[in-house]
A and B are shown apart, each in its own frame.
Chain A
Amino acid sequence: MTEPLVVADDLHVRFATQRPLTDSLLRRPAPSVRAVDGVSFAVSPGEVLALVGESGCGKTTTGNLLLGLIPLSEGTVRFEGQDVASMGRRQMRAFRRACQIIFQDPYESLNPRMRIRDIIAEPLRVHHVAVNDDDEQTRVRHALTQAGLAPPEVYENRYPYELSGGQRQRVVIAAALTLEPRLLIADEPVSMLDVSIRADILNLLRRLATESRIAIVMITHDLATVSAYADRLAVMYLGRIVEIGDTRTILSDPQHPYTRALLSVVPTTDPAARQRPQVLAGETPDPSRIPSGCRFHPRCPVAVAACRTIDPALIALGPDHEAACILVGSGPIVRGSSSAGR
């Protein structure tokens, strides 16, 4: 495997919450929300890593941390070996060029007052990339074509409201491509799009990774989408990665009880592959009140007494497969009682 492009090492983010006046007067410490609580992973050029989890699991916050958009409480993000937090102004500008983000909502991601041409040229202008207007136009048209909006002349003078949802998402991608990024964070890139056109956008992202060697971190709640497009998968629960590894391995042989439950409830259209959904009762706890021990134990169908006290670390289970559960590797779930096929 090639040298990783980005390495996230033990990322933590704590948000202080508002405390009532009485608490401030009594000098009680403000409860902190541990939105991201010890997340580590690496992404290599040309690789698509999917951060999967339910809302509140910290996946979007993790994406923002990679870009340095919110400050880390603890841990480091290294981009090409360099600590992002200690970058100087000049290095930070270079870093901003190299990393781009695509948001979920293509309707919200485009300034309604700007023409497509100006939207796509904006990153070029911010970074003074184009040497002259002709160069700018060439780059804009190249990006449009690359994002599948061809011929570019048709699109460049339009306003966002003149485009369909899929076309808008392509514009967002084109704008991100103008700076020739090496890392792309895609935050729910297709969840607002119609089912029939989602595959187009996902195929485009996949091609960018494979052909342009861009590293892509795809943040999503949709395991089905991820299954076809991500090389690696990181399943998050309450601010931590509970299972990470090769997508196919995890999908065919999930180890963490949460991953198993999650996989079992993802609807499939194939009746033969349908498992009995293992619907977890209750909801993800509030990140300001993370349970003791294993954070998943109150909802875990196979929890044992030790789970209440031991906070498990990721355990290697294969060449590219780790899970954070004290029962994997030697425990009872691995042997026999697999939920698949019940």
Chain B
Amino acid sequence: MTVVAEVQSRPTTIAAPRGALRTLLHHPVGLAGLIMLGLTFFVAVFAPLLAPYDPYDTPPVHIEDIYQPPSPEHPLGTDDGGKDVLSELIYGSRVSLIVGFTAAAIAIVIGGAIGIVAGYKAGRTGSALMRFTDFFLVIPDLALQIVLVAILGPSLVTIIIVIGILGWTTTARLVRSQALTVRERKFVARAHAIGASDWHMIRRHIIPLVMPLMLANAVLVISLAILSESTLAFIGLGDPTVISWGKMLNFAFDRGAVSAGAWWAFFPPGLAIVWVVLATTLLGTALEDVLNPRLKRHHLEAGRDDVVRSVEPPPAVMIPTANAPLLSIRGLSVEFESSDGPLRAVDDVSFDLARGETIGLVGESGSGKTTAMLGLLRLLPPGGRIVAGQALFDGEDLLSLPPDELRAFRWTRLSMVFQGAMNALNPVQTVGGQVTEAIRLHDHRISKDEANRRTADLLDRVGIGARRANEYPHTYSGGMRQRAMIALALACRPDVIVADEPTTALDVMIQAQIMELLGGLSRDLGMSTIIVTHDLGIVAQVCDRVVVMYGGRVAEDAPASRLFAEPRHPYTQALLEAFPDVAHPERELHAIGGTPPRLDAMPPGCPFAPRCAHAFDRCDTAKPPLYPISDGWAASCYLLDPAHPAPASPATHD
């Protein structure tokens, strides 16, 4: 066990319908199902052309024609009536498909309508409908089908209707749960606030979002309907006027095909049923896959430590700091695989962390701040790898450690509190138990009592209180859970804690409590902290130094007091101008025009150049290195290049 993964916050989204067919064609299982079903359709449509004989033709039966083994004249032999099995098989596909599709259509319409109404009107109407559905669900389908068909008479229409009206229950349940989810989404609430009618809501919002699921389900209902028809026909309840696979089986078994050893009379229809059911099942499974993808794998789901450093780290600018750094990151670069080649998410990131220092790693979404930290811990998601750089921790390169040493290293010396991790405590273990377990996992010699004592200390330390050690996480509030996560991170007395957005989603007062706690840790225990955040205010409050990231690169690295007083990088300046400050309500705020660059469309030069008011031609050609400004302060901007001053240097930079 290494780390706790972030819980995905965004609900399942359903892929857009456009391109679904294309995706399906690339899905091997889906393609197989589609081809198999397509072949069956082809055979059914062109039956008169494909069948060597017309099975509905009834010439006088000669005794020598019965149960003839396969021959060139009858490729699959003849049946008990002396008819050509192949021709019957071909015609039989028509019945299977007609019954399957029409019965399924009936089932889907009934089930869909009931499911949507039950889901949308979740109150009394919904519960009544669901009780009704449950009632139908417990009735044994086959028994009722047999009774109904026997009473109503076995015609094709009866069979279709009976299968249809008994097969809707699973659809109803499935659609209801999906409709319930859609109903909770904000665009439905918005439509409601506009004053849209129920019918509008169902038609415009619920149905389009429930449709993919219904489609995937429909295919499975079809296969069940085909199977039901075959079963009914097999036990002699098929329409006597038509040839179906089930009836072929029924005749074969009733009329001595087994004793006659005429395997060709029952084997082909049996295989045909399996074929169609398999085709629809494959297609249904694939459709479900395509239309309703699982939660996208999150970048914290799988730990992988892929370090592929083709080149030695480039000599980075050493930023002199007062203390000898505990952790020194040099030229760290991380790439992700993509269909268009590798994408660089972190590019040549260097900074130092001194003992007892608190650094704020600041950036907007997509700036690479979290990825850089995951790279440091070698917990990159699949497809991500470190392509260059070093991370010297007390002189030892973290990126070169063998996996077992790395495992010991994480938590005991460097541990991370992941974003949203407070939702990832084990719900069936007490909080104290989880902390004790973490302590004992990393220190095998420690006695149980000693571990318990340390747990109690830790829980006191983070403000939970030792008396709550035996409580389960669900009794904790969000802020308390975040404290528990910090206690877990502290369990092995690490030298460095990396906290990724530790206060996002917490109330401002709780946020202040957590920041006070984190600040106290470095003050009292001499721990170093890296706080990864987008909130400049938090950084100003607790950090000694700030590393501002943009487009995967370090834009500015400065002592906190300097950065907020006189930011040097144009991005830092713009960010501060966009940041509302409660101390200065009169200040006008300016958003930064444009949007942060996407990984697959990184500008060739400075990543901020397209949004920068001061950019000049040099900025578009090459990425600026970090230019030192003074002790412990540097920024990557050509305006600060002492050798080549900018053409018309804007006054704002001085």
Residues of chain A whose beta carbon lies under 8 Å from any beta carbon of chain B: 54-55, 67, 69, 92-93, 96-97, 99-101, 103-105, 107-114, 119, 122-123, 126-127, 159, 161, 164, 166, 172, 175, 179, 194-203, 221-225, 227-229, 247-248, 251, 261-263, 265-271, 273-274, 277, 279-280, 283-284
User: How many interface contacts (CB-CB < 8 Å) are there between A and B?
Assistant: 193
28 contacts between A and B (CB under 8 A): A97-B195, A100-B193, A101-B193, A105-B186, A108-B185, A109-B186, A109-B190, A112-B209, A113-B208, A122-B196, A126-B195, A172-B190, A194-B364, A195-B575, A195-B578, A196-B575, A197-B578, A202-B580, A203-B589, A222-B580, A225-B580, A228-B580, A228-B588, A247-B585, A267-B541, A270-B564, A283-B509, A283-B510
Cβ 8 A contact of B580, one of A199, A200, A261: A199
Cβ 8 A contact of B364, one of A111, A196, A274: A196
Task: Establish whether residues B508 and A273, one from each chain, have CB atoms under 8 Å apart when the complex forms.
Answer: no
Which residues of A lie under 8 Å from residue B534 when comparing CB positions? 194-195
Which residues of A lie under 8 Å from residue B541 when comparing CB positions? 267-268, 274, 277
Task: Establish whether residues A126 and B196, one from each chain, have CB atoms under 8 Å apart when the complex forms.
Answer: yes
How many Å lie between the Cα of A164 and that of B598 in the bound state?
11
Task: Establish whether residues A270 and B364, one from each chain, have CB atoms under 8 Å apart when the complex forms.
Answer: no
A-B pairs with lowest CB-CB distance, top 5: A267-B537, A96-B195, A273-B583, A265-B512, A200-B591
Task: Establish whether residues A266 and B579, one from each chain, have CB atoms under 8 Å apart when the complex forms.
Answer: no
Task: Establish whether residues B591 and A203, one from each chain, have CB atoms under 8 Å apart when the complex forms.
Answer: yes
With contact pairs A97-B195, A109-B190, A271-B561 given, residues A266 and B582 touching in the complex (Cβ less than 8 Å)? yes
Judge if B540 is at the interface, Cβ distance under 8 Å: yes
Task: Establish whether residues B190 and A269, one from each chain, have CB atoms under 8 Å apart when the complex forms.
Answer: no
Task: Establish whether residues A103 and B477, one from each chain, have CB atoms under 8 Å apart when the complex forms.
Answer: no
Task: Establish whether residues B581 and A111, one from each chain, have CB atoms under 8 Å apart when the complex forms.
Answer: no
Judge if B535 is at the interface, Cβ distance under 8 Å: yes
- The residues in B between 472 and 530 inclusive whose CB is less than 8 angstroms from any CB of A are 477, 479, 507-513, 516
With contact pairs A96-B194, A103-B189, A195-B578 given, residues A279 and B509 touching in the complex (Cβ less than 8 Å)? yes
Residues of chain B whose beta carbon lies under 8 Å from any beta carbon of chain A: 10, 13-14, 16-17, 185-187, 189-197, 200, 204-205, 208-209, 364-365, 477, 479, 507-513, 516, 534-538, 540-541, 561, 564-565, 574-576, 578-592, 595-596
Task: Establish whether residues B508 and A262, one from each chain, have CB atoms under 8 Å apart when the complex forms.
Answer: yes
Task: Establish whether residues A279 and B582, one from each chain, have CB atoms under 8 Å apart when the complex forms.
Answer: no
Chain A's nearest CB lies how many Å from the CB of B593?
8
Which residues of B lie under 8 Å from residue A284 when comparing CB positions? 507, 509
Cβ 8 A contact of A198, one of B513, B564, B574, B578: B578
Starting from the known contacts A268-B537, A279-B512, 11 additional A-B residue pairs (CB-CB under 8 Å) come to A96-B194, A100-B194, A112-B209, A113-B17, A126-B200, A194-B534, A198-B578, A198-B580, A267-B537, A267-B541, A274-B541
Which residues of B lie under 8 Å from residue A119 when comparing CB positions? 187
Cβ 8 A contact of A251, one of B208, B509, B582, B589: B582
Task: Establish whether residues B590 and A199, one from each chain, have CB atoms under 8 Å apart when the complex forms.
Answer: yes
Which residues of B lie under 8 Å from residue A103 when comparing CB positions? 186, 189-190
Chain B's nearest CB lies how many Å from the CB of A209?
16
Q: Of A122, A166, A224, A251, which is in contact with the most chain B CB atoms at under 10 Å from its CB? A: A224
How many Å lie between the Cα of A198 and that of B509 in the bound state?
22
Chain A's nearest CB lies how many Å from the CB of B501?
13
Chain A's nearest CB lies how many Å from the CB of B535?
7
Chain A's nearest CB lies how many Å from the CB of B588?
8
How many Å lie between the Cα of A159 and that of B561 in the bound state?
44
Task: Establish whether residues B209 and A113, one from each chain, have CB atoms under 8 Å apart when the complex forms.
Answer: yes
With contact pairs A54-B508, A200-B591, A283-B477 given, residues A270 and B581 touching in the complex (Cβ less than 8 Å)? yes
Task: Establish whether residues B365 and A194, one from each chain, have CB atoms under 8 Å apart when the complex forms.
Answer: yes
Q: Of A93, A200, A248, A266, which is in contact with the most chain B CB atoms at under 10 Å from its CB? A: A266
How many Å lie between the Cα of A261 and that of B189 in the bound state?
34
Task: Establish whether residues B596 and A194, one from each chain, have CB atoms under 8 Å apart when the complex forms.
Answer: yes
With contact pairs A100-B193, A267-B538 given, residues A228 and B209 touching in the complex (Cβ less than 8 Å)? no
Task: Establish whether residues B589 and A265, one from each chain, have CB atoms under 8 Å apart when the complex forms.
Answer: no
Chain A residue with the shortest CB-CB distance to B541: A267
Task: Establish whether residues B583 and A268, one from each chain, have CB atoms under 8 Å apart when the complex forms.
Answer: yes
How many Å lie between the Cα of A123 and that of B192 in the bound state?
10
Chain A's nearest CB lies how many Å from the CB of B394?
32
With contact pairs A223-B582, A227-B580 given, residues A197 and B508 touching in the complex (Cβ less than 8 Å)? no
Chain B's nearest CB lies how many Å from the CB of A96?
3
With contact pairs A97-B195, A126-B200, A179-B194 given, residues A221 and B585 touching in the complex (Cβ less than 8 Å)? no
Which residues of A lie under 8 Å from residue B513 when comparing CB positions? 279
Which residues of B lie under 8 Å from residue A172 when comparing CB positions? 190
How many Å lie between the Cα of A114 and that of B155 in the bound state?
44
With contact pairs A54-B507, A100-B193, A283-B477 given, residues A263 and B512 touching in the complex (Cβ less than 8 Å)? no
How many Å lie between the Cα of A199 and that of B186 in the bound state?
23
Chain A's nearest CB lies how many Å from the CB of B292?
13
How many Å lie between the Cα of A56 and that of B508 in the bound state?
13
Q: Of B187, B535, B588, which is in contact with the most chain A CB atoms at under 10 Å from its CB? A: B187
Chain A residue with the shortest CB-CB distance to B191: A122
Task: Establish whether residues A267 and B209, one from each chain, have CB atoms under 8 Å apart when the complex forms.
Answer: no
